[in-house]
Homo-oligomer: A and B are copies of this chain.
């Protein structure tokens, strides 16, 4: 089959790789219907040292079950399923606590003997725990929104949930990328009364407004902090959803959070530490968030997509075939595309 591999910064290729097969009785093989490129894929695309062998890449996909091992329950060939962005047994103590990203028997797509999501098919370990069956056909118009359950929408949701967003909460979302926009949608869904989106790409912030942002702040740095404070009577917001991962973004987050408030971060951090001095301490600021256990949230978010109340798939603004994936990476890196959908 064909799959995407990365050899280093700027060097993504689509190559023929071995077809996936069952290794363990708990495995399934899934033929991919839709996959996509994640903002976090752009970190290796931007900085990975060159190497002579390619690494498999991609961690968001939905598809059709082709084959299952003898111990797989609850799934059968032909089922349409979505995979969260790590695989997990969904039965260990961490999974029961909703932290499937720390599953005792889980792991990451694209690791040894496990395919990446940006290919024609994937061997899925711990299939019964990992995959969630979707009550739709292979040609459903909902596939883009359902694909967001793999990562980007639950990541925005995780950010909002860990921050404690609810009715009467004021929220600042930092970043108008696909995760930031998903965080806006999640905050709106959780009832937030004011959602300030910090971003400067008008076509993205317009989608943010459609998703529920009540205010948009295009300024950055100190000027951006001032603007958010103006919008909140000088106090900042109860919660700040940091969806970028860069040092200036997390610094802005601490600047716009209200005393006693919470900064949650879901952008993979490209910094080693965060401010924690006496000022932060005296203001009782909480820092939370982390990599999103998407699996924990799929059942909760699914009905709103199936019943059309939310449409998180609107973050996809470009669709490519598998051979066009390298161009898709470049388009996202150049900010010509917000998020690229792949139809293998």
Residues of chain A whose beta carbon lies under 8 Å from any beta carbon of chain B: 94, 97, 99, 101-102, 162, 250, 259-260, 265, 268-269, 271-278, 280-291, 293
Contact = CB atoms under 8 A, between A and B. Distances in A.
Contact of A268 (B102, B278, B288): B278
A291 B290 CA distance: 24
B274 A269 contact: no
Contacts of A274: 273-274, 276
Contacts of A280: 269, 290
Nearest to A273: B273
B94 A286 contact: no
22 contacts: A94-B260, A99-B259, A99-B260, A101-B282, A102-B259, A102-B284, A162-B284, A162-B286, A265-B281, A271-B276, A272-B276, A272-B277, A273-B273, A273-B275, A280-B290, A281-B291, A282-B291, A283-B290, A284-B289, A284-B290, A284-B291, A286-B289
A194 to B, nearest CB: 15
A26 B280 CA distance: 30
A282 B277 contact: no
Contacts of A97: 260
Contact of A290 (B250, B282, B288, B293): B282
Given A271-B277, A286-B286, 11 more contacts: A99-B259, A265-B281, A273-B276, A273-B277, A276-B287, A281-B290, A281-B291, A284-B290, A286-B287, A286-B288, A287-B288
Nearest to A233: B93
Contacts of A278: 268-269
Given A269-B276, A277-B272, A287 B290 contact: no
A282 B282 CA distance: 27
Contacts of A289: 281, 284, 286
A40 B281 CA distance: 13
Contacts of A94: 259-260
A246 to B, nearest CB: 12
A269 B277 contact: yes
Closest 3 CB pairs of A and B: A284-B290, A102-B259, A273-B273
A271 B271 CA distance: 17
A105 to B, nearest CB: 14
A286 B288 CA distance: 4
A63 to B, nearest CB: 26
Nearest to A271: B276
A101 B276 CA distance: 17
A260 B96 CA distance: 12
B272 A275 contact: yes
A287 B271 CA distance: 16
Contacts of A291: 281-282, 284
A285 B290 CA distance: 7
Contacts of A101: 282, 284
A278 B43 CA distance: 13
